[in-house]
Chain A
Amino acid sequence: MYPYGYPGFESLTLRHFFIMDSPILFCNASLPISGGGTLREEFILYHLDSALQAALINEFASITGKELNPQSDLHTLSGGQKVLMMTLLALLSPAKSIHFVNLWHSLDTQNRDLVKDLIARLGAERRITHSASEDDN
């Protein structure tokens, strides 16, 4: 997490350069679906190629039992399932740094453990941070 005031970067301009040099994917569980609603739009936004798209669909089906395709309307998912989808999209995206906001709130106990496993398995090479509210960013 990057609270305001990075060590040595007191200037706002330098702070911006620091962020630009190390982009962070922000994933807010209050708005888990970023596009117009179809899975295809999320694939484009998160920059997933066809192999990663297939991996995501398989992973999501193994967790929830729901068989999706790129045309699927994600608004038919439950709130917790949308958060699971957002997490998978982020972890399969090329982002090197991911910041999750309120990730755990909408997840039941079983899915919290599952998401922790996913982060350990798919996020090992990345910088992954969390905060409980947008104000903490």
Chain B
Amino acid sequence: MIIEAGIHQIWPGFDLQIASELHFTSGLTHLQGPNGVGKSSFLTQLLLPRLVKNPAYYCLYFEQQMQLQITAVKAYAALMKPRVQVEGEADAVDFLLQDLLRSYEAEPRPSLVLMDESLHAERIKAFLDENIPDYSLVFSSHGELFPSARSIVFKPLSSSRSLVDAPAN
């Protein structure tokens, strides 16, 4: 999965200037930067739409503030076989991971997991390490979650543009 260098419009009046081509093949990628600089938008407006259109990958996305996603997962889990009752955030995370594993076991594919400031980051990574051999985890976090991750750094250039750069790690 590649995001091309250049200026990518995210919303009317806001774009991301990507300094060099970004590759998301395997391993861990840490999106770093202050609040409001476009990290979540990068995930939802650039990376996620490309993944959804690409059947070569399995894609799993953990939203930053999961409450609405939990509602959707609860409904899905209650309707789809095997029917499961999802109670809260941890349950929803487990359900999504198990769903990925079921798909992976039926037909292995590279799996790209997007995690936006998740409260369950360590648990998600441990599950992936144990169960999904060829995964790529792209995550945003204000802390140093996984030191081995390569960094993509977001810097505000103005209120309407942020620079996205991947320094050599």
Which A residues have a C-beta under 8 Å from some C-beta of B? 28-32, 64-65, 76-82, 84, 102, 105-111, 133-134
Does residue B169 face the partner (Cβ distance < 8 Å to A)? no
Known pairs A78-B35, A111-B35, A134-B88 / 4 extra A-B pairs, C-beta < 8 Å: A79-B64, A81-B35, A105-B119, A108-B142
Whole-angstrom distance from the CB of A48 to the nearest CB of chain B? 22
Contacts of B41 in A (CB 8 A): 78
Of the candidates A29, A81, A134, the one whose C-beta lies within 8 Å of that of B36 is: A81
Chain A residues, Cβ within 8 Å of B40: 78-79
Which residues of chain B from 54 to 102 have any CB-CB distance to chain A below 8 Å in the complex? Answer: 64-68, 88-89
Interface string of B28-60 (1 = CB under 8 A from A): 000001111111110000000000000000000
Given contacts A65-B159, A105-B117, A106-B64, contact A30 B89 (CB under 8 A): yes
Chain A residues with CB under 8 A of B11? 76
0 or 1 for each of B112-149: is its CB under 8 Å from A? (1 = yes): 00001101000000000000000000000010000000
Interface residues contributed by chain B, number (CB under 8 Å): 22
Instruction: State whether B119 touches A109 (Cβ < 8 A).
Output: no
Q: A51 to chain B: closest CB distance in Å?
A: 27
A78-B88 Cα distance, complex, nearest whole Å:
23
Q: Are A29 and B142 in contact (CB under 8 A)?
A: no
Cα distance A79–B33 in the bound complex, in angstroms = 13
B: residues with CB less than 8 A from A are 11, 33-41, 64-68, 88-89, 116-117, 119, 142, 159
Indicate which residue in A28, A31, A79, A134 contacts B35 across the interface (CB closer than 8 Å): A79
| A28-B40 Cα distance, complex, nearest whole Å | 19
Minimum CB–CB distance from A30 to chain B (whole Å) comes to: 5
Look across to chain B and name the residue whose beta carbon is closest to the beta carbon of A104: B142
Q: A30-B89, A80-B35, A81-B36 are known contacts. Are A109 and B142 too (CB-CB below 8 A)?
A: yes
Quick one: closest A residue to B63, CB to CB? A79
- Bound together, the chains give a CA A28 to CA B70 distance in angstroms of 14
Contact among B33, B38, B116, B119 for A102, CB-based, below 8 A: B119
Q: How far is the CB of A87 from chain B (nearest CB, A)?
A: 12
A108-B34 contact given A30-B89, A65-B159, CB 8 Å threshold: yes
* Cα A106 to Cα B37 with chains together (Å): 13
Q: Is the CB of B159 within 8 A of A79?
A: no
CB-nearest residue of chain A to B13: A76
Q: Kindly identify which residue among B36, B67, B142, B159 contacts A78, using a CB–CB cutoff of 8 Å.
A: B36
Chain B nearest CB from A112 CB (Å) reads: 8
B contact residues around A77 at 8 Å (CB): 36
* Bound CA span A63–B137, Å: 32
B119 with A107: CB separation less than 8 A: no
The residue of chain A having its C-beta at the shortest distance from the C-beta of B39 within the complex is A78
